């Protein structure tokens, strides 16, 4: 195969991989990339959390079908500080039982699924994620009617028709 053919093939593979991940082929660079660069790469954020120091936290949900909520922190100067996946095993393991709904939204983004159980007055929130081995899991948090966490579970089975 010629050099041109190899480069063309490599470019096609990279473009395909970028399309599969939902990421743009160019990388965002902390300290250099701007909020406009982030929005060009990820689109419109699902929610923006304003911080007391003038920085902002943007959340991008990559659903349906994906188990990813991307958190992007923008400094007061309008430049990217850091970007990471909100739904990873280490972050799930740090759930504080005192966290309220807003705290959980801030850490994990909007739940992929929510259900209200009228007889008990409880609410279930669910997020898909992959554990440290890459296996699909669901983070489930049940709230009392008062808004207090009643239970936190990580379950292995995904409901029919839901890809994670």
Domain extent listing, the chain:
25-85, 89-155
Per DSSP, helices labelled H in the chain are 3-21, 35-42, 89-93, 101-108
pLDDT score of 88 = 87
The tens-digit pLDDT sequence of the chain (164 residues) is 555 444 445 444 444 444 444 444 458 999 999 999 999 999 999 999 999 999 999 999 876 655 678 999 999 999 999 999 998 889 999 999 999 999 999 999 989 899 999 999 999 999 988 888 988 889 999 999 998 999 999 998 655 555 55
CATH of 25-85, one of 3.30.1450, 3.30.420, 3.90.220, 1.10.10: 3.30.1450
pLDDT of 134: 86
Dist CA 140 CA 108 (whole Å) = 12
* pLDDT (0 to 100) of residue 4: 46
Per DSSP, the three-state class of 26 is: coil
- 25-85 and 89-155 share one CATH topology? yes
DSSP 46-92: SEEEE-TTS-EEEEEEE-SS--EEEEEEE-TTSBEEEEEES-BHHHH
CATH class, range 89-155: alpha beta
pTM assigned to the model: 0.71
| pLDDT in the model for residue 13 | 42
Sign of CA dihedral 147, 151, 157, 159: negative
Instruction: Provide φ and ψ at 116, rounded to 5°.
Output: -110, 130
Alpha carbon distance 49, 94 (integer Å): 20
Distance CA(10)–CA(5), nearest Å, equals: 9
Bridge partners of residue 88, in order along the sequence: 130
């Amino acid at each position: 195969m010629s050099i041109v053919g190899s480069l063309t093939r490599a470019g096609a593979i990279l473009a395909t991989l970028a399309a599969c991940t939902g990421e743009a082929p160019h990388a965002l660079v902390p300290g250099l990339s701007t909020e406009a660069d982030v929005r060009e790469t990820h689109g419109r954020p699902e929610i923006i959390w304003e911080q007391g120091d003038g920085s902002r936290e943007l959340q991008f949900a990559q659903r349906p079908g994906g188990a990813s909520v991307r958190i992007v922190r923008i400094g007061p100067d309008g430049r990217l500080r850091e970007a990471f996946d909100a739904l990873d095993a280490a972050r799930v393991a740090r759930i504080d039982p005192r966290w309220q709904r807003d705290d959980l939204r801030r850490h994990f983004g909007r739940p992929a699924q929510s259900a209200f159980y009228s007889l008990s007055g409880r609410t279930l929130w669910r997020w898909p994620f992959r554990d440290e081995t890459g296996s699909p899991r669901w983070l489930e948090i049940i709230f009392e009617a008062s808004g207090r966490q009643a239970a936190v579970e990580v379950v292995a089975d995904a409901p029919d028709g839901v890809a994670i």
